[in-house]
Amino acid sequence: MDLRQFLMCLSLCTAFALSKPTEKKDRVHHEPQLSDKVHDDAQSFDYDHDAFLGAEEAKTFDQLTPEESKERLGKIVSKIDGDDDGFVTVDELKDWIKFAQKRWIYEDVERQWKGHDLNEDGLVSWEEYKNATYGYVLDDPDPDDGFNYKQMMVRDERRFKMADKDGDLIATKEEFTAFLHPEEYDYMKDIVVQETMEDIDKNGDGFIDLEEYIGRQADQGGDS
C-alpha cells in the first residue's frame, strides 16, 4: 500500500471514528478540533494528516524529508498494528484515531494535575483544588470584574463530589479526569445535562424554550 492509498484509507476511517450523535459537548468543555484545516479530500489529505498524527506532531513532519517522513510513519504504524501481524486493519486505524482525538484530554489532565496536587501525594483533594483555583476569590469575594466566582465554585464542588466515587472529597487521577471532562464518563452524564440546562435556561423555569435555545446557538457561533 503506497502513501496515497494509506491516506485514502485513513480518510475513510476518520469519518467512521468521528461518527457520533450530535451533542454540544463544548457546553462543558471546549473540545479542540482534530485539525484547523478544511476536511476536503478532493483538495488534500491535510486534515487526515493532522487527525492521524495530531496537529503538533504533523507540523514536525512538514519539516522532514520524504525519506525521514516515511521512516517515522513506519514507526507510528508499528504502534497502530496492535496484533503485530504487519498489517493495519480498519479497526486498528479507527482505534488509533480515537486515541489521537482523546490525547489532548490526557495532556490537559496532566497539566492541571501538576497545578492542583499541591502536596504532591498523588491525589487532589477538593480543598487543594479550591485553594489553587479560587484562593484569590476567597480573599476578595467581590472582584472588580463582577463575575460570580462563588457560584462557579459551588458548581465545581458539586461536580467534584459527583466525580469522587468514594465520597472522600479526594480525587484519584481517574476521578480528577472525570471532574475536568465529565462528558467522557457515563456516570457523569447527569451533571453534564444539569449544567447544560443551567447555562441555557436563563429564566430558571426548568425548561428550555425556543428563544433560549436560539440565543445559545447564537452565542456559540450558530453551530447546531
Residue 211 inside a domain? The answer is yes
Per-residue pLDDT for 194 more than 90? yes
Residue 224 inside a domain? The answer is no
pTM (predicted TM-score): 0.60
Written in H, E and C, the secondary structure of 53-84 is HCHHHHHHHHCCCHHHHHHHHHHHHHHHCCCC
Domain count, the chain: 1
Residue 144 inside a domain? The answer is yes
pLDDT digits (tens, 9 = 90+) for 209-223: 888 888 766 665 555
Residue 81 inside a domain? The answer is no
Q: What pLDDT sits at residue 21?
A: 35
pLDDT digits (tens, 9 = 90+) for 21-46: 333 334 444 445 555 666 666 766 67
Domain limits at 175?
A: 121-216
Residue 128 inside a domain? The answer is yes
Residue 130 inside a domain? The answer is yes
Per-residue pLDDT for 143 more than 70? no
Q: Rank 77-86, 92-101, 104-113, 173-182 by mean pLDDT and report only the highest.
A: 173-182
Q: What is the mean pLDDT of residues 135-149?
A: 66
Residue 192 inside a domain? The answer is yes
Backbone dihedral angles phi then psi of residue 220, each to the nearest 5 degrees: -100, 20
